[in-house]
Amino acid sequence: MSIKIIGLDLDGTTLGINGKLPPINKIAIERAIDAGINVVVTTGRVISAVPEDIMNISGLRYIISSNGAHVRDLKQGHDVYSSFIDPDVIGRVVDLARERNLYLEAFHDGRAYIDSALYHDIDVNGSIHRRREYVLRTRNPLDDIFGFMLDNCTEIENINIFFEDMNKLEDIRKIVSKYDDANVTSSVPNNIEIGGLGSSKSKALSELMKILSIDRSELMCCGDAANDIPMLQLAEIGVAMENAWDIVKENADYITDTNVNGGVGKAILKFCFGEEV
């Protein structure tokens, strides 16, 4: 078995404490790149929120962002694949959000926009599921996020809906899961993410592998949350983190160490170089 491409989720997977890259991960990733393996970042983040620790990895060429909405070729400086949410879906989500008083984020043109009320709440009270500093640094608050989404309805990459009430989350999930013209998933326990029908990490990886003439039998992926499951299922070797959701572990071929302990680096060394750490 020869691995030619590796898909790596970021938060809870490749990144460790405070969103930093553990040394063993950097070493293993750069070693894989030097060996001719395509290491591909596959993140729910917008491209502008990818941290410097990742952008500074020597030889990194491809980044899949916004849950698969874009595949960016860093060497060429442009996207080689893009998928946006259908404008009809945008209209339905806005109507639902107004009716149910939902807090939203919307990704557009590589930047993340957030409802100003949600931004202020996180600023004052913090967040259980995301670092306050990360949100304040990467999000752009808007007083009328619904108007923004409608004005840019042909180029919205991803929508995040956040909940304090988990019963409300499940009620909304039942509604949006019926959308047959969108991709619905989650990356943290208290959110629902809506993307275009062609927007998922697995779809973006598949499109990139077509470009690179690489077969799925040569793919390894690492992840920790629900939005990573399709790419773990796509891969010949699907690796779940020790800190991953239980359902992710159930869909993995192998469980590595935690993100804090450099589980990604250890998995790369094991499956690409036959080395146990």
pLDDT confidence band for 160 (50 / 70 / 90): very high
In this chain, the answer to whether the domains covering 5-82+200-273 and 87-196 adopt an identical fold is: no
Predicted local distance difference test score (pLDDT) of residue 110? 94
Domain boundaries, the chain: 5-82+200-273, 87-196
pLDDT confidence band for 1 (50 / 70 / 90): low
Token pair, residue 223, equals: 């992840």
Predicted local distance difference test score (pLDDT) of residue 128? 83
| Strands 219-223, 191-196: pairing kind | unpaired
Residue with tokens 């591909």: 40
First to last CA, the chain: 20
Position 40 pLDDT exceeds 90? yes
Tell me the C-alpha to C-alpha distance, in Å, between residue 122 and each of 40, 71, 127, 189, 209: 31, 30, 6, 16, 38
Topology (CATH) of 5-82+200-273: Rossmann fold (3.40.50)
Per-residue pLDDT tens for 213-271?
A: 999 999 999 999 999 999 999 999 999 999 999 999 999 999 999 999 999 999 999 99
- What pTM value is reported for the model? 0.92
Per-residue pLDDT tens for 10-37?
A: 999 999 998 899 999 999 999 999 999 9
- Average pLDDT (163-174) is 95
* CATH architecture, domain 87-196: 2-Layer Sandwich (3.30)
Could you tell me if residue 122 is left (phi over 0), alpha (psi between -120 and 50 degrees) or otherwise beta? alpha
Mention every residue, 6+ apart, whose C-beta is less than 8 A from residue 120.
141
Per-residue pLDDT tens for 68-115?
A: 999 999 999 999 999 999 999 999 999 999 999 999 999 999 999 999
Phi, psi of 263 (to 5 degrees): -60, -35
pLDDT confidence band for 46 (50 / 70 / 90): very high
